[in-house]
Structure 1
Amino acid sequence: MLPRTPPSGLQGRRALVTGASRGIGLAAAAALAQAGAAVTLAARSQDELRQACDQIRTEGGTADFMVVDVTDARAVDAQLAERPPYQVLVNSAGMNRPKPLVDVTDDDIDAVLDLNVKAAFYVSRAVSRRLLAERLTGSLINISSQMGVVGSPRRTLYCASKHAIEGMTKALAWELGSAGIRVNTLCPTFIETAMTAGMFADDGFRGWVLERIALGRLGRLDEIMGAVVFLAGDASSLMTGSALMLDGGWSAA
Protein backbone atom coordinates (compact mmCIF):
# COMPACT_ATOMS: atom_id res chain seq x y z
CA MET A 1 0.00 0.00 0.00
CA LEU A 2 1.39 3.38 -0.98
CA PRO A 3 2.04 6.04 1.67
CA ARG A 4 -0.60 8.75 1.83
CA THR A 5 0.12 12.46 1.44
CA PRO A 6 -0.99 14.41 4.54
CA PRO A 7 -4.17 16.45 4.04
CA SER A 8 -3.50 19.97 2.80
CA GLY A 9 -6.49 21.58 4.50
CA LEU A 10 -6.67 23.27 7.88
CA GLN A 11 -10.34 22.67 8.66
CA GLY A 12 -11.16 22.93 12.35
CA ARG A 13 -8.04 24.92 13.23
CA ARG A 14 -7.97 28.44 14.57
CA ALA A 15 -5.28 30.77 13.22
CA LEU A 16 -4.03 34.17 14.35
CA VAL A 17 -2.14 36.48 11.99
CA THR A 18 -0.53 39.71 13.18
CA GLY A 19 0.11 42.61 10.83
CA ALA A 20 -2.83 41.23 8.88
CA SER A 21 -4.37 44.41 7.53
CA ARG A 22 -2.10 44.55 4.48
CA GLY A 23 0.85 43.05 2.62
CA ILE A 24 2.29 39.69 3.65
CA GLY A 25 0.08 39.48 6.72
CA LEU A 26 -3.12 39.88 4.72
CA ALA A 27 -1.89 37.35 2.14
CA ALA A 28 -1.13 34.88 4.94
CA ALA A 29 -4.58 35.36 6.47
CA ALA A 30 -6.28 34.87 3.10
CA ALA A 31 -4.24 31.72 2.42
CA LEU A 32 -5.12 30.17 5.78
CA ALA A 33 -8.81 30.99 5.34
CA GLN A 34 -8.79 29.50 1.85
CA ALA A 35 -7.27 26.34 3.35
CA GLY A 36 -10.17 26.06 5.78
CA ALA A 37 -8.88 27.68 8.97
CA ALA A 38 -10.91 30.11 11.06
CA VAL A 39 -8.64 33.14 10.97
CA THR A 40 -8.32 36.12 13.31
CA LEU A 41 -6.67 39.12 11.68
CA ALA A 42 -4.80 41.33 14.15
CA ALA A 43 -3.51 44.86 13.61
CA ARG A 44 -4.13 48.42 14.83
CA SER A 45 -6.33 49.62 11.96
CA GLN A 46 -9.94 48.63 12.54
CA ASP A 47 -11.23 49.86 9.18
CA GLU A 48 -8.64 47.90 7.19
CA LEU A 49 -9.22 44.80 9.29
CA ARG A 50 -12.98 44.96 8.83
CA GLN A 51 -12.58 45.34 5.07
CA ALA A 52 -10.17 42.40 4.90
CA CYS A 53 -12.51 40.19 6.91
CA ASP A 54 -15.42 41.12 4.67
CA GLN A 55 -13.39 40.09 1.61
CA ILE A 56 -12.46 36.74 3.17
CA ARG A 57 -16.06 36.03 4.15
CA THR A 58 -17.29 36.99 0.68
CA GLU A 59 -15.06 34.24 -0.70
CA GLY A 60 -16.53 31.74 1.76
CA GLY A 61 -13.85 31.90 4.44
CA THR A 62 -14.21 32.29 8.19
CA ALA A 63 -12.60 35.40 9.66
CA ASP A 64 -12.82 37.87 12.51
CA PHE A 65 -10.47 40.59 13.67
CA MET A 66 -8.65 41.83 16.75
CA VAL A 67 -7.64 45.47 17.11
CA VAL A 68 -4.45 45.36 19.17
CA ASP A 69 -1.04 46.96 19.45
CA VAL A 70 1.21 43.90 19.50
CA THR A 71 4.04 45.91 21.05
CA ASP A 72 1.89 46.20 24.21
CA ALA A 73 2.41 42.96 26.17
CA ARG A 74 -0.52 43.56 28.52
CA ALA A 75 -2.89 44.25 25.64
CA VAL A 76 -1.76 41.08 23.86
CA ASP A 77 -2.27 38.95 26.98
CA ALA A 78 -5.67 40.49 27.69
CA GLN A 79 -6.97 40.03 24.16
CA LEU A 80 -5.82 36.42 23.85
CA ALA A 81 -7.17 35.52 27.28
CA GLU A 82 -10.67 36.36 26.02
CA ARG A 83 -10.47 33.99 23.03
CA PRO A 84 -10.13 30.24 22.49
CA PRO A 85 -6.57 29.02 21.82
CA TYR A 86 -4.97 29.33 18.40
CA GLN A 87 -3.27 26.30 16.85
CA VAL A 88 -1.68 28.38 14.10
CA LEU A 89 0.14 31.67 14.62
CA VAL A 90 1.71 33.85 11.95
CA ASN A 91 3.82 36.67 13.39
CA SER A 92 3.84 39.03 10.43
CA ALA A 93 3.82 42.48 12.03
CA GLY A 94 7.06 44.21 11.16
CA MET A 95 8.80 47.32 9.86
CA ASN A 96 12.08 48.63 8.51
CA ARG A 97 13.91 51.94 8.66
CA PRO A 98 16.82 51.47 6.25
CA LYS A 99 19.76 53.81 6.77
CA PRO A 100 23.46 53.58 7.63
CA LEU A 101 24.08 52.65 11.26
CA VAL A 102 25.72 56.01 11.96
CA ASP A 103 22.41 57.67 11.06
CA VAL A 104 20.16 55.30 13.04
CA THR A 105 18.46 57.08 15.92
CA ASP A 106 17.45 55.71 19.30
CA ASP A 107 13.84 56.01 18.16
CA ASP A 108 14.63 53.88 15.09
CA ILE A 109 16.18 51.19 17.29
CA ASP A 110 13.26 51.14 19.71
CA ALA A 111 10.60 51.14 16.98
CA VAL A 112 12.11 48.35 14.89
CA LEU A 113 13.06 46.08 17.79
CA ASP A 114 9.73 46.65 19.54
CA LEU A 115 7.69 45.57 16.52
CA ASN A 116 9.99 43.06 14.82
CA VAL A 117 11.28 41.28 17.93
CA LYS A 118 9.48 42.07 21.18
CA ALA A 119 6.01 41.84 19.65
CA ALA A 120 6.82 38.38 18.26
CA PHE A 121 7.93 37.33 21.75
CA TYR A 122 4.74 38.70 23.34
CA VAL A 123 2.34 37.03 20.91
CA SER A 124 4.27 33.74 20.76
CA ARG A 125 4.35 33.61 24.55
CA ALA A 126 0.61 34.19 24.90
CA VAL A 127 -0.31 31.65 22.20
CA SER A 128 2.13 29.05 23.55
CA ARG A 129 0.84 29.37 27.10
CA ARG A 130 -2.68 28.54 25.99
CA LEU A 131 -1.60 25.61 23.83
CA LEU A 132 0.46 24.12 26.66
CA ALA A 133 -2.30 24.69 29.23
CA GLU A 134 -4.86 22.93 27.05
CA ARG A 135 -2.41 20.30 25.75
CA LEU A 136 -2.92 21.21 22.10
CA THR A 137 -0.44 20.90 19.28
CA GLY A 138 0.24 23.81 16.98
CA SER A 139 2.41 25.60 14.44
CA LEU A 140 4.02 28.98 15.06
CA ILE A 141 5.30 30.77 11.96
CA ASN A 142 7.53 33.81 12.25
CA ILE A 143 7.81 35.97 9.15
CA SER A 144 11.54 36.60 9.00
CA SER A 145 13.49 37.62 5.90
CA GLN A 146 16.44 36.71 3.76
CA MET A 147 18.05 39.40 5.95
CA GLY A 148 17.71 36.97 8.85
CA VAL A 149 20.50 34.84 7.39
CA VAL A 150 22.66 37.39 5.52
CA GLY A 151 23.84 40.96 5.98
CA SER A 152 23.17 44.04 3.87
CA PRO A 153 24.25 47.68 3.81
CA ARG A 154 21.80 50.18 5.31
CA ARG A 155 20.02 47.33 7.06
CA THR A 156 22.10 46.72 10.18
CA LEU A 157 19.10 47.32 12.43
CA TYR A 158 16.68 45.27 10.31
CA CYS A 159 19.17 42.41 9.98
CA ALA A 160 19.72 42.45 13.74
CA SER A 161 15.97 42.16 14.32
CA LYS A 162 15.52 39.28 11.88
CA HIS A 163 18.60 37.42 13.11
CA ALA A 164 17.02 37.68 16.57
CA ILE A 165 13.82 36.09 15.26
CA GLU A 166 15.82 33.23 13.76
CA GLY A 167 17.47 32.60 17.13
CA MET A 168 14.19 32.79 19.01
CA THR A 169 12.63 30.33 16.57
CA LYS A 170 15.39 27.75 16.98
CA ALA A 171 15.32 27.94 20.77
CA LEU A 172 11.53 27.87 20.98
CA ALA A 173 11.38 24.85 18.68
CA TRP A 174 13.33 22.94 21.34
CA GLU A 175 11.22 24.27 24.20
CA LEU A 176 7.92 23.33 22.59
CA GLY A 177 8.84 20.31 20.47
CA SER A 178 7.95 17.69 23.07
CA ALA A 179 4.46 19.20 23.27
CA GLY A 180 3.94 18.81 19.53
CA ILE A 181 4.19 22.55 18.86
CA ARG A 182 6.37 23.41 15.88
CA VAL A 183 8.12 26.75 15.31
CA ASN A 184 9.58 27.85 11.97
CA THR A 185 10.42 30.97 10.04
CA LEU A 186 9.49 32.01 6.53
CA CYS A 187 12.19 34.11 4.85
CA PRO A 188 11.07 36.06 1.78
CA THR A 189 13.13 38.25 -0.48
CA PHE A 190 11.84 41.65 -1.56
CA ILE A 191 8.14 41.33 -2.41
CA GLU A 192 6.39 43.59 -4.91
CA THR A 193 3.42 45.21 -3.17
CA ALA A 194 1.63 48.56 -3.14
CA MET A 195 3.74 49.49 -0.12
CA THR A 196 7.08 48.76 -1.83
CA ALA A 197 6.16 50.35 -5.18
CA GLY A 198 7.74 53.67 -4.27
CA MET A 199 10.96 52.01 -3.19
CA PHE A 200 11.25 50.11 -6.46
CA ALA A 201 10.51 53.20 -8.51
CA ASP A 202 14.17 54.00 -7.88
CA ASP A 203 15.83 52.24 -10.83
CA GLY A 204 19.18 52.12 -9.06
CA PHE A 205 17.77 50.34 -6.03
CA ARG A 206 15.64 48.02 -8.15
CA GLY A 207 18.69 47.05 -10.19
CA TRP A 208 20.76 46.44 -7.04
CA VAL A 209 18.06 44.10 -5.72
CA LEU A 210 17.50 42.19 -8.96
CA GLU A 211 21.23 41.57 -9.38
CA ARG A 212 21.15 39.64 -6.10
CA ILE A 213 18.14 37.45 -6.87
CA ALA A 214 19.07 34.39 -8.92
CA LEU A 215 15.62 34.28 -10.51
CA GLY A 216 16.09 37.86 -11.67
CA ARG A 217 12.77 39.20 -10.39
CA LEU A 218 10.97 40.35 -7.27
CA GLY A 219 8.72 38.05 -5.29
CA ARG A 220 4.91 38.13 -5.40
CA LEU A 221 2.47 37.93 -2.52
CA ASP A 222 0.85 34.79 -3.89
CA GLU A 223 4.24 33.07 -3.65
CA ILE A 224 4.11 33.54 0.12
CA MET A 225 0.69 31.97 0.51
CA GLY A 226 1.44 28.34 -0.30
CA ALA A 227 4.44 28.38 2.04
CA VAL A 228 2.28 29.67 4.91
CA VAL A 229 -0.25 26.88 4.41
CA PHE A 230 2.56 24.33 4.16
CA LEU A 231 4.11 25.42 7.47
CA ALA A 232 0.74 25.64 9.18
CA GLY A 233 -0.43 22.18 8.17
CA ASP A 234 0.43 18.52 8.48
CA ALA A 235 2.56 18.43 5.33
CA SER A 236 5.36 20.02 7.37
CA SER A 237 4.81 17.91 10.49
CA LEU A 238 8.51 16.94 10.75
CA MET A 239 9.73 20.51 10.31
CA THR A 240 10.62 22.68 13.30
CA GLY A 241 13.37 25.14 14.11
CA SER A 242 13.90 25.68 10.37
CA ALA A 243 13.97 28.64 8.00
CA LEU A 244 12.00 28.23 4.78
CA MET A 245 13.79 30.41 2.23
CA LEU A 246 11.64 32.17 -0.35
CA ASP A 247 14.45 34.42 -1.49
CA GLY A 248 14.81 33.59 -5.18
CA GLY A 249 18.34 32.39 -4.49
CA TRP A 250 19.60 35.53 -2.69
CA SER A 251 21.15 33.59 0.20
CA ALA A 252 22.70 30.99 -2.14
CA ALA A 253 25.33 33.46 -3.35
Structure 2
Amino acid sequence: MSAKRPLIAVMTGAGISTDSGIPDYRGPQGLWQQDPSAQDMVTIGPYLADPEVRRRAWLMRRDVGALAAEPNAGHLALAELERGGLPVRVLTQNVDGLHQRAGFPARKVLELHGTATEVSCARCRVRSGMDEALERVAAGESDPPCRACGGVLRPCTVMFGEPLDPEVIDRAEAVAKACDLFVAVGTSLQVYPAAALPRIAVEHGARLVIVNGEPTPYDDEADEVIREPISIALPQLVHRLLDGA
Protein backbone atom coordinates (compact mmCIF):
# COMPACT_ATOMS: atom_id res chain seq x y z
CA MET A 1 0.00 0.00 0.00
CA SER A 2 1.43 3.39 -1.01
CA ALA A 3 1.89 6.09 1.61
CA LYS A 4 -0.57 8.94 1.74
CA ARG A 5 0.77 11.91 -0.23
CA PRO A 6 0.90 15.17 1.75
CA LEU A 7 -1.81 17.72 1.03
CA ILE A 8 -0.48 21.16 0.08
CA ALA A 9 -2.59 24.27 0.57
CA VAL A 10 -1.39 27.40 -1.25
CA MET A 11 -2.95 30.70 -0.25
CA THR A 12 -2.25 33.44 -2.78
CA GLY A 13 -2.65 37.20 -2.58
CA ALA A 14 -2.12 40.18 -4.84
CA GLY A 15 1.64 39.78 -4.86
CA ILE A 16 1.52 36.73 -7.11
CA SER A 17 -0.22 38.72 -9.85
CA THR A 18 1.87 41.90 -9.89
CA ASP A 19 4.24 40.37 -12.46
CA SER A 20 1.19 39.95 -14.69
CA GLY A 21 0.70 43.71 -14.60
CA ILE A 22 -2.05 43.75 -11.98
CA PRO A 23 -1.15 46.23 -9.22
CA ASP A 24 -1.45 45.27 -5.57
CA TYR A 25 -3.27 47.42 -3.05
CA ARG A 26 -1.39 47.34 0.26
CA GLY A 27 2.27 47.15 -0.78
CA PRO A 28 4.68 50.10 -0.68
CA GLN A 29 3.79 50.90 -4.30
CA GLY A 30 0.18 49.74 -3.94
CA LEU A 31 -2.83 51.58 -5.26
CA TRP A 32 -4.05 52.60 -1.82
CA GLN A 33 -0.66 54.01 -0.83
CA GLN A 34 -0.73 56.24 -3.89
CA ASP A 35 -4.42 57.15 -3.65
CA PRO A 36 -6.15 56.28 -0.33
CA SER A 37 -9.53 57.40 -1.73
CA ALA A 38 -9.33 54.52 -4.22
CA GLN A 39 -10.52 52.19 -1.47
CA ASP A 40 -14.02 53.66 -1.94
CA MET A 41 -14.14 51.93 -5.33
CA VAL A 42 -14.03 48.52 -3.63
CA THR A 43 -16.21 49.40 -0.60
CA ILE A 44 -19.85 48.43 -1.01
CA GLY A 45 -21.46 51.49 0.63
CA PRO A 46 -19.73 54.24 -1.40
CA TYR A 47 -19.88 52.10 -4.55
CA LEU A 48 -23.66 51.69 -4.44
CA ALA A 49 -24.37 55.21 -3.22
CA ASP A 50 -22.12 57.37 -5.40
CA PRO A 51 -22.23 57.33 -9.22
CA GLU A 52 -18.88 59.16 -9.32
CA VAL A 53 -17.22 56.35 -7.33
CA ARG A 54 -18.65 53.85 -9.81
CA ARG A 55 -17.41 55.86 -12.79
CA ARG A 56 -13.91 55.91 -11.28
CA ALA A 57 -14.17 52.18 -10.61
CA TRP A 58 -15.12 51.39 -14.20
CA LEU A 59 -12.22 53.48 -15.50
CA MET A 60 -9.87 51.66 -13.13
CA ARG A 61 -11.11 48.27 -14.34
CA ARG A 62 -10.68 49.39 -17.93
CA ASP A 63 -7.18 50.79 -17.37
CA VAL A 64 -5.84 47.98 -15.17
CA GLY A 65 -6.73 45.50 -17.90
CA ALA A 66 -6.98 42.52 -15.56
CA LEU A 67 -9.00 40.51 -18.09
CA ALA A 68 -6.15 40.82 -20.59
CA ALA A 69 -3.47 39.85 -18.07
CA GLU A 70 -1.56 36.63 -18.63
CA PRO A 71 -0.45 34.12 -15.98
CA ASN A 72 3.15 34.57 -14.91
CA ALA A 73 5.83 32.15 -13.73
CA GLY A 74 4.27 31.93 -10.26
CA HIS A 75 0.86 30.86 -11.55
CA LEU A 76 2.44 28.44 -14.01
CA ALA A 77 4.59 26.90 -11.27
CA LEU A 78 1.53 26.07 -9.17
CA ALA A 79 -0.14 24.47 -12.18
CA GLU A 80 3.02 22.42 -12.67
CA LEU A 81 2.90 21.36 -9.01
CA GLU A 82 -0.66 20.10 -9.45
CA ARG A 83 0.25 18.24 -12.63
CA GLY A 84 3.13 16.62 -10.74
CA GLY A 85 0.67 14.46 -8.88
CA LEU A 86 0.76 16.05 -5.43
CA PRO A 87 -2.61 16.89 -3.84
CA VAL A 88 -2.81 20.69 -4.04
CA ARG A 89 -5.54 23.20 -3.32
CA VAL A 90 -5.30 26.92 -4.04
CA LEU A 91 -7.05 29.33 -1.69
CA THR A 92 -6.83 32.67 -3.44
CA GLN A 93 -7.65 36.16 -2.28
CA ASN A 94 -7.31 37.27 -5.90
CA VAL A 95 -10.23 37.80 -8.22
CA ASP A 96 -8.34 37.74 -11.54
CA GLY A 97 -8.84 34.09 -12.54
CA LEU A 98 -5.16 33.71 -13.45
CA HIS A 99 -4.72 30.39 -11.61
CA GLN A 100 -7.36 28.82 -13.83
CA ARG A 101 -5.93 30.45 -16.96
CA ALA A 102 -2.54 28.98 -16.06
CA GLY A 103 -4.04 25.51 -16.18
CA PHE A 104 -4.82 24.89 -12.52
CA PRO A 105 -8.12 22.95 -12.34
CA ALA A 106 -10.97 25.30 -11.42
CA ARG A 107 -12.48 22.72 -9.05
CA LYS A 108 -9.29 22.91 -6.95
CA VAL A 109 -9.31 26.71 -6.66
CA LEU A 110 -11.29 28.43 -3.91
CA GLU A 111 -11.83 32.11 -4.75
CA LEU A 112 -12.17 33.58 -1.27
CA HIS A 113 -13.07 37.05 -2.52
CA GLY A 114 -15.10 36.10 -5.59
CA THR A 115 -14.26 36.79 -9.21
CA ALA A 116 -13.81 39.93 -11.29
CA THR A 117 -14.47 38.05 -14.52
CA GLU A 118 -18.23 38.47 -14.03
CA VAL A 119 -20.60 41.22 -12.93
CA SER A 120 -23.97 41.01 -11.25
CA CYS A 121 -26.86 43.41 -10.72
CA ALA A 122 -27.15 44.69 -7.16
CA ARG A 123 -30.95 44.66 -7.56
CA CYS A 124 -31.99 41.61 -9.60
CA ARG A 125 -28.77 39.53 -9.23
CA VAL A 126 -28.54 38.71 -12.94
CA ARG A 127 -24.93 37.81 -13.84
CA SER A 128 -23.05 38.52 -17.04
CA GLY A 129 -19.47 38.78 -18.25
CA MET A 130 -17.15 41.56 -17.14
CA ASP A 131 -15.82 41.71 -20.71
CA GLU A 132 -19.27 42.70 -21.98
CA ALA A 133 -19.57 45.44 -19.33
CA LEU A 134 -16.13 46.82 -20.20
CA GLU A 135 -17.09 46.91 -23.88
CA ARG A 136 -20.00 49.14 -22.89
CA VAL A 137 -17.61 51.41 -20.94
CA ALA A 138 -15.31 51.60 -23.97
CA ALA A 139 -18.33 52.55 -26.07
CA GLY A 140 -19.07 55.52 -23.83
CA GLU A 141 -21.22 54.26 -20.94
CA SER A 142 -19.41 55.60 -17.87
CA ASP A 143 -21.61 53.68 -15.40
CA PRO A 144 -23.36 50.92 -17.35
CA PRO A 145 -26.63 49.83 -15.71
CA CYS A 146 -28.10 46.33 -15.65
CA ARG A 147 -29.77 45.63 -18.98
CA ALA A 148 -32.44 43.52 -17.30
CA CYS A 149 -33.71 46.01 -14.71
CA GLY A 150 -31.59 49.17 -14.81
CA GLY A 151 -29.95 48.47 -11.46
CA VAL A 152 -26.33 49.05 -10.47
CA LEU A 153 -23.81 46.65 -11.98
CA ARG A 154 -21.03 45.45 -9.72
CA PRO A 155 -18.23 42.89 -10.01
CA CYS A 156 -18.86 39.45 -8.53
CA THR A 157 -16.24 40.16 -5.90
CA VAL A 158 -16.51 40.52 -2.15
CA MET A 159 -16.20 44.23 -1.46
CA PHE A 160 -15.20 45.83 1.82
CA GLY A 161 -18.26 45.98 4.04
CA GLU A 162 -19.53 42.63 2.77
CA PRO A 163 -19.09 39.21 4.38
CA LEU A 164 -17.28 36.43 2.61
CA ASP A 165 -19.38 33.52 1.37
CA PRO A 166 -19.66 31.28 4.46
CA GLU A 167 -19.66 28.12 2.32
CA VAL A 168 -16.38 29.13 0.67
CA ILE A 169 -14.79 29.97 4.02
CA ASP A 170 -15.95 26.67 5.50
CA ARG A 171 -14.34 24.79 2.62
CA ALA A 172 -11.12 26.82 2.97
CA GLU A 173 -10.97 26.11 6.69
CA ALA A 174 -11.44 22.40 6.02
CA VAL A 175 -8.47 22.48 3.64
CA ALA A 176 -6.37 24.37 6.20
CA LYS A 177 -7.18 21.79 8.87
CA ALA A 178 -6.36 18.86 6.60
CA CYS A 179 -3.20 20.10 4.90
CA ASP A 180 0.33 19.03 5.75
CA LEU A 181 1.98 22.10 4.24
CA PHE A 182 0.50 25.59 4.03
CA VAL A 183 2.23 28.01 1.65
CA ALA A 184 1.25 31.70 1.79
CA VAL A 185 2.31 33.56 -1.36
CA GLY A 186 2.14 37.28 -2.03
CA THR A 187 -0.28 38.10 0.75
CA SER A 188 0.03 40.51 3.66
CA LEU A 189 -1.95 38.08 5.86
CA GLN A 190 -3.83 41.02 7.35
CA VAL A 191 -7.33 40.62 5.89
CA TYR A 192 -9.64 38.46 7.99
CA PRO A 193 -11.17 35.92 7.98
CA ALA A 194 -8.82 34.73 5.23
CA ALA A 195 -5.77 35.70 7.28
CA ALA A 196 -6.80 33.20 9.96
CA LEU A 197 -6.21 30.25 7.62
CA PRO A 198 -2.44 29.93 8.23
CA ARG A 199 -3.00 29.78 12.00
CA ILE A 200 -5.67 27.11 11.57
CA ALA A 201 -3.21 25.10 9.49
CA VAL A 202 -0.37 25.48 12.01
CA GLU A 203 -2.64 24.59 14.93
CA HIS A 204 -3.54 21.36 13.11
CA GLY A 205 0.08 20.39 12.60
CA ALA A 206 0.92 21.83 9.17
CA ARG A 207 4.29 23.32 8.25
CA LEU A 208 4.08 26.97 7.18
CA VAL A 209 6.08 28.57 4.37
CA ILE A 210 5.69 32.27 3.57
CA VAL A 211 6.77 33.73 0.22
CA ASN A 212 6.32 37.49 0.40
CA GLY A 213 8.38 40.60 -0.22
CA GLU A 214 7.27 42.35 2.97
CA PRO A 215 7.06 41.07 6.57
CA THR A 216 3.79 39.47 7.69
CA PRO A 217 2.31 38.89 11.15
CA TYR A 218 3.04 35.16 10.73
CA ASP A 219 6.76 35.32 9.96
CA ASP A 220 7.79 34.23 13.46
CA GLU A 221 5.53 31.17 13.23
CA ALA A 222 6.72 30.06 9.80
CA ASP A 223 9.07 27.16 9.18
CA GLU A 224 10.51 29.10 6.25
CA VAL A 225 10.22 32.70 5.04
CA ILE A 226 11.28 33.49 1.46
CA ARG A 227 11.82 37.10 0.41
CA GLU A 228 12.89 36.47 -3.20
CA PRO A 229 10.64 37.79 -6.01
CA ILE A 230 7.66 35.45 -6.33
CA SER A 231 8.19 34.65 -10.01
CA ILE A 232 11.65 33.36 -9.07
CA ALA A 233 10.98 31.91 -5.62
CA LEU A 234 7.79 29.98 -6.37
CA PRO A 235 9.14 27.93 -9.30
CA GLN A 236 12.17 27.06 -7.14
CA LEU A 237 9.94 26.02 -4.23
CA VAL A 238 7.74 23.94 -6.53
CA HIS A 239 10.76 22.10 -7.93
CA ARG A 240 11.91 21.35 -4.38
CA LEU A 241 8.50 19.95 -3.52
CA LEU A 242 8.34 17.85 -6.68
CA ASP A 243 11.86 16.53 -6.11
CA GLY A 244 10.84 15.45 -2.63
CA ALA A 245 7.58 13.82 -3.73
Q: Same fold (TM over 0.5)?
A: no
- Whose helix proportion is higher, 1 or 2? 1
Q: TM-score, normalised by structure 1?
A: 0.31
Structure with the bigger RCO (C-alpha within 8 Å, sep 6+) is: 2
Q: TM-score, normalised by structure 2?
A: 0.32
